[in-house]
Amino acid sequence: MKIREAVKEDMPQVLELIKELAVFEKEPDAVEISVADLEREGFGENPLFTCFVAESENGIVGAALIYFRFSTWKGRTLHLEDLIVQESERGKGIGEALYKEVMQFAYDRGLKRVAWDVLDWNTGAIRFYERSGADILKTWRVVHMDEKGLKNYIEKSSVK
Residue 78, C-beta contacts closer than 8 angstroms, at least 6 positions apart: 66, 67, 68, 69, 102, 105, 106, 109, 111, 113, 114, 115
129 in active site = yes
CB 73 within 8 A of CB 85: no
CB 65 within 8 A of CB 54: no
Paired strand residues for 67:
79
Paired strand residues for 71:
75
CA dihedral of residues 23, 11, 112, 103 (deg, nearest 10): 80
**Selected catalytic residue, list 67, 99, 107, 129:** 129
Residue 57, C-beta contacts closer than 8 angstroms, at least 6 positions apart: none
DSSP assignments along 26-50, one per residue: T-TT-----HHHHHHHHHSSS---E
Residues with a catalytic annotation lie at: 129
